[in-house]
């Protein structure tokens, strides 16, 4: 039986060091809790973009495609401008059903915004621009994957 790569890939992102990307904001992730599992979309400042699904599978290396790369840049910009909404964190627990994590890997460590997805979906919420930009990354990954037949 093949081991599920999700936990390792997620941890590799959370441990993103300066040797990989030397930037104040090294990367950001949107994590969605659903159906007893989770999905994590990671955007790294070097353009690397992937979607990991806790049940296995996902889409790796999607930042090679221009629409995904553009969505990556927009998500990182949204997280950078909303960084004060995220609190310093040593650990990032997986989101539960109906919960959202917005994670920033910075030169100063991890930062986390954890809230109900319903709140993040509310345009009046301060979390909304970050959530919407992360959802756009997922949309672009799906569009490219569909075009490639994945």
The CB density around residue 42, as the number of other CB atoms within 10 Å, is 28
Looking at the structure of the chain, the number of domains it has is: 1
Q: What is the CATH number of the domain that holds 44?
A: 3.30.1560
Do the domain assignments include residue 54? yes
Name the pTM for this structure. Answer: 0.94
pLDDT in tens, 106-121: 999 999 999 999 999 9
The CB density around residue 41, as the number of other CB atoms within 10 Å, is 27
Do the domain assignments include residue 36? yes
Task: Say yes or no to pLDDT of 85 above 80.
Answer: yes
Do the domain assignments include residue 84? yes
Of 59, 76, 56, give the one whose Cα is nearest residue 144.
59
Q: According to the model, what pLDDT value does residue 130 have?
A: 98
**Least confident window among 38-42, 66-70, 77-81, 146-150:** 146-150
Of 118, 119, 101, give the one whose Cα is nearest residue 110.
101
Do the domain assignments include residue 148? no
Domain extent for 74: 6-143
Do the domain assignments include residue 1? no
Do the domain assignments include residue 58? yes
Contact status, residue 9 vs residue 52, Cβ threshold 8 Å: yes
Do the domain assignments include residue 91? yes
Percent of the chain whose predicted confidence (pLDDT) is above 90: 79
Average pLDDT over residues 95-99: 95
């Amino acid at each position: 039986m093949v081991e599920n790569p999700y936990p390792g890939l997620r941890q590799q992102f959370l441990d993103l060091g300066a040797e990989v990307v030397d930037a104040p904001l090294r990367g950001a992730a949107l994590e969605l809790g659903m159906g007893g599992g989770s999905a994590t979309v990671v955007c790294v400042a070097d353009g690397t973009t992937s979607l990991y699904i806790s049940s296995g599978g996902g889409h790796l290396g999607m930042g090679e495609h221009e629409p995904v790369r553009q969505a990556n840049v927009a998500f990182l910009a949204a997280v950078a401008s909303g960084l004060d909404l995220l609190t310093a964190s040593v650990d990032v627990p997986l989101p539960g059903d109906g919960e959202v994590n917005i994670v920033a890997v910075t030169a100063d460590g991890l930062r986390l915004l954890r809230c109900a997805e319903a709140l993040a979906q509310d345009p009046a919420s301060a979390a909304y621009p970050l959530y919407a930009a992360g959802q756009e990354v997922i949309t672009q990954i799906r569009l490219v994957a569909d075009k490639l037949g994945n």
